[in-house]
Structure 1
Amino acid sequence: MTMPVDENAPLFAIAVAAELAEMHPQTLRQYDRLGLVSPSRTAGKSRRYSLRDVMQLREIARLGAEGISLEGIRRILELENVNQQLARRVRELETALADELLNRPGRRVFAAGLEGDVVSLKSGVRAQRRTEVVVWRP
């Protein structure tokens, strides 16, 4: 039985990560100093790169080949990380909402009242609608 590999597990020493990313180890050190990639550290303070770090290094190389500056790359990576965190949070909230709707008996529905206010209705009850006819003449 094969075990899935955690992409965030610090597995690779700097030489291996550099080879996988097709970069020089000194480049990885520079990117670490600039904050583009932040590998984990061992007790002896040596860098350990994860699969996610290696993928990020490859993305940095791709963006650099397109002519984007290191500061631009840093900003792009930062925004992508924020986007991933927000997407993860949305999925968590959607799951929590779905669980709440399924597990809560006597749940309520909300509608707009006659004056535009929010009205709470019991499940299965329809909001009353106005049926008067209004004639407008300029």
Structure 2
Amino acid sequence: MRVDYQELDENAPVFSIAAAAELAGMHPQTLRQYDRLGLVVPQRTRGNVRRYSLRNVSELREISHLAADGLNLEGITRVLALREQVRTLEKRVRALESELADERLKRPGQRVFAAGEAGDVITLAQGMRARRRTDLVVWRPGRVDD
């Protein structure tokens, strides 16, 4: 069976605490402590066993790098919270940009169309003109060129 790693869900809880600790280069007890502090909270099975995702392992590595840079756990907690806030805000900005673009297209008189070079329909901003081609085309009636 061949696994396509691009299709793996980074949030799927697949790693035991021992495997996640090894992937993150940490001791399993450190992962337990981070779970208690709420830094990296893995999902739990029905038997209350921790299961870590690829995203969790990535977060653990990030914590390790921040700690190596001299940040204490309080500083790491703040950095992680701010990064998550930035990710959330970036998603919201993308959604609002898409919504604004859709709204602009819905306004009457806001869409102008022209024929493209290949005969396709292109959308132009209001007040803009299609670029004119200045090629010289010779047409001779009754003659078909190859």
Q: 1:9 aligns with which of 8, 12, 15?
A: 12
Normalising by structure 2, we get a TM-score of 0.69
Greater Rg by CA = 2
Which one of the candidate residues 57, 62, 65 is aligned to 2:60?
Answer: 57
In the alignment, which of 30, 33, 44 is matched to residue 47 of structure 2?
44
Return the TM-score normalized by structure 1. 0.73
Sequence identity percentage: 62
The corresponding residue for 2:84 is 81
| Cα separation, partners in 2 of 1:104 and 1:9, compared to 1, 3 Å | farther
1:1-138 → structure 2 map (5 Å cutoff): 2=4, 4-106=7-109
After superposition, the C-alpha distances for 1:2-56 in whole angstroms (9 at most, x for unaligned) are 3511111111111110010011111000000011101111111111111111011
User: Match of 1:12, SS?
Assistant: coil
Q: Which segments of 5 or more consecutive residues in structure 1 lack a partner in the other structure?
A: 108-122, 125-138
Gaps of 5+ in 2: 111-125, 128-146
Paired residues in the alignment total: 109
Question: Partners of 1:102 and 1:48 in 2: how far apart?
Answer: 46
Runs of 4+ in 1 over 6 A off after TM superposition: none
